[in-house]
Amino acid sequence: MRFDLFTLFPGMFAGPLDESIIKRAQAANLIQIAIHDIRDWTTDRHRTADDTPYGGGAGMVMMAPPIVAAVESTLGNDLGGTPIILLSAAGEPLSQKIARELAGRRRLAMICGHYEGVDERVVTVLGARELSIGDYVLTGGELAAMVVLDAVARLVPGVIDAASVAEESHETGLVEYPHYTRPAAFRDETVPEVLLSGHHAQIAQWRREQALRRTARRRPDLLTGLDLSERERAIIAEVSQVPDPT
């Protein structure tokens, strides 16, 4: 899968995309990442990519022409079939469902907003989809683009073991159960006995119940619409009245 990132600050991507799983995925040619400086498509000697907003107001607005030119010339024949994402605090919230949807595409383009915002005609001309990574505002879309890239890239087949992905938070509709490793005892805290039992069915049941408990405490909104057994509904009813000990 190929990622094309359009930004005014390409230096911000140096480092984070050259470490850990993303680095290995690139080395294995499972993903390709290209960083494009939007200023390369400006037309004046000052490489101007922003201007004051029509109607007045604080801040500067990123101009449509250089962004549109950058995306159109880079994508070329792939323009019509490539999802184009504009990272924006006003966008729809990123979710695991959206990440999985995007991971099924061959190519993904992301535009990093900056300053006060981006000229609305970028969205209308390119048919861009606006995505947000949370209900807060960043200084620019570069960090958000890295989050989206990471969330999508790790779902590309071969990047991470499929069994590991299957049990993660939000893949099953629940947040993930707690994990433990050696030592078995640490500062008077011990690993739950069931995890040491070797009884796989009991371990699976414990993990499911722990995931339900955590979800009921931390993200009860995720429980809506889930197909739950009577016992599982009883667990949720029980723990919903008890504060999260963590």
Phi-psi region of 103 (alpha: psi -120 to 50; beta: other; left: phi over 0): alpha
Query: Closest Cα partner for 170 from 223, 132, 134, 207?
Result: 223
Asked if 41 contacts 73 with a C-beta cutoff of 8 angstroms, the reply is yes
| pTM, entire model | 0.87
Quick one: average pLDDT of 94-110?
A: 97
Mapped onto helix, strand or coil, the DSSP state of residue 3 is strand
Domains and CATH numbers, the chain: 2-162 (3.40.1280.10), 169-239 (1.10.1270.20)
Mapped onto helix, strand or coil, the DSSP state of residue 215 is helix
pLDDT in tens, 173-226: 899 999 999 999 999 999 999 999 999 999 999 999 999 999 999 999 999 989
pLDDT at 246 over 80: no
pLDDT at residue 13, rounded to an integer: 96
- Of 82-86, 138-142, 150-154, 240-244, where does mean pLDDT reach its minimum? 240-244
pLDDT at 163 over 80: no
Asked if 130 contacts 123 with a C-beta cutoff of 8 angstroms, the reply is yes
Outline where 84-133 has alpha helix (H).
Answer: 96-103, 121-126
CA dihedral 128, 134, 140, 146 (to 10 degrees): -80
pLDDT at 92 over 60: yes
Peptide bond into 183 cis (omega under 30): yes
pLDDT at residue 243, rounded to an integer: 64
Mean pLDDT of all residues in the chain?
94
Quick one: average pLDDT of 150-160?
A: 96
In sequence order, the β-bridge partners of residue 61 are 51, 117
As given in the structure block, the two tokens for residue 20 are: 């850990």
Quick one: average pLDDT of 90-110?
A: 97
pLDDT at 4 over 60: yes
pLDDT at residue 162, rounded to an integer: 80
| Residue 93 CB neighbours (<10 A) | 10
Quick one: average pLDDT of 143-172?
A: 87
- Using CA atoms, how far apart are residues 50 and 106, in angstroms rounded to an integer? 31
Quick one: average pLDDT of 41-48?
A: 96
Query: Closest Cα partner for 87 from 47, 123, 61, 58?
Result: 123
